[in-house]
Structure 1
């Protein structure tokens, strides 16, 4: 799991817990559960009975005559909108680099290796490995520091250990040599293809 996914899940979890807790408190007050179940409501909770309101008129108008009130509210809302837009743009930004920087000393000028071409080449070589029924390679990370994610489906006779060794010594090593990248981390996810059960006599 990358940092962006972790942050997204954390924000969604916190937001969900806050909304769920607030909704349960409002529902308990609206259904008058505290009185019916003889429960003590949380301290300083404004909503306890169905007739209570979240903000009284005094609370709503307490700061309205202060000169700093409306600029502070507008600034807070504007900041919230800006942060929401930044988060949205971060989600729309593609996770896959458009190209991969070629290594070497010195690095070649005016030479660009498309990430899609490299991914296709590694996928083709990986599918040709023994005991591999299907393979797909996805390139992520930055152009100067690409990462490989390899999804493999093994045949019914394939063993994970031998396939992983062949993957590391074959397609991954060849990609590292061809691009000149000194460090090319790869993560493989293995699955076993479905096959018909054999009848034993």
Structure 2
């Protein structure tokens, strides 16, 4: 079992908090809309919002209480801007894959002070894959953590390239070479294959 990353724990915590808030709000509105307090002969606490179908979350007095204050709209706009910025930064963080940066070299435990930059390893893997027969373009990218790197390969095959043969060439050449270069026992690899389209031929 792999340990959870800090980003994964943060995501789950935020999703749990948002989910609980939405669930509580939904149950509150549903109980008032169905008039469950009266039907079940329940007495809500004093000041409890939405206790009957005719109740509203904000009364007319509450809605107009601060609207005449000059600072109210500035504070409201600032709060909404901050919330939107936080939501956008969270979304961007989800779309970005973590990069290992520097990968320890030498197996487990790794050799002290010996590291390999992930971009250097990706460039070497890319160059070796592009030299394989049947491969038109290739791009390797390292993701994950330094202790548990992952290899992601995006390959475009020539129109006549055989996927099974290319995968076998990967397993016989570039991937074992990458493992030996970092002294690791395994390097999880995700391969995405595409096939280039045939150019149209004019019939004469």
Match of 1:123 in 2: 126
Which consecutive residues of structure 2, in runs of 5 or more, have no partner in the other structure?
A: 37-49, 64-82
Which of 169, 173, 176 pairs up with 2:172? 169
* Matched residue SS, 1:138: strand
Runs of 4+ in structure 1 over 6 Å off: 2-5, 57-60
Match of 2:93 in 1: 91
Measured against aligned partners, the alpha-carbon deviations of 1:7-52 in whole angstroms (never above 9, x if no partner) come to 58x95xx87xx6xxx8xx9xxxxxxxxxxxxxxx951496978xx7
Which consecutive residues of structure 1, in runs of 5 or more, have no partner in the other structure?
A: 26-40, 61-80
Match of 1:43 in 2: 34
Normalising by structure 1, what TM-score? Answer: 0.58
* Matched residue SS, 1:119: helix
CA–CA separation in structure 2 for the residues paired with 1:191 and 1:90: 27
* Matched residue SS, 1:135: strand
The answer to whether the aligner puts 1:182 opposite 2:185 as a matched pair is yes
Contact 2:35–2:53 (Cα < 8 Å) also in 1 = no
Give how far 1:166 is off. Answer: 0.6
Which of 156, 160, 171 pairs up with 1:157? 160
Normalising by structure 2, what TM-score? Answer: 0.57
CA–CA separation in structure 2 for the residues paired with 1:42 and 1:144: 53
Number of matched residues?
149
Contact 1:151–1:188 (Cα < 8 Å) also in 2 = yes
How do 1:27-38 and structure 2 match up within 5 A? none
Contact 2:150–2:187 (Cα < 8 Å) also in 1 = yes
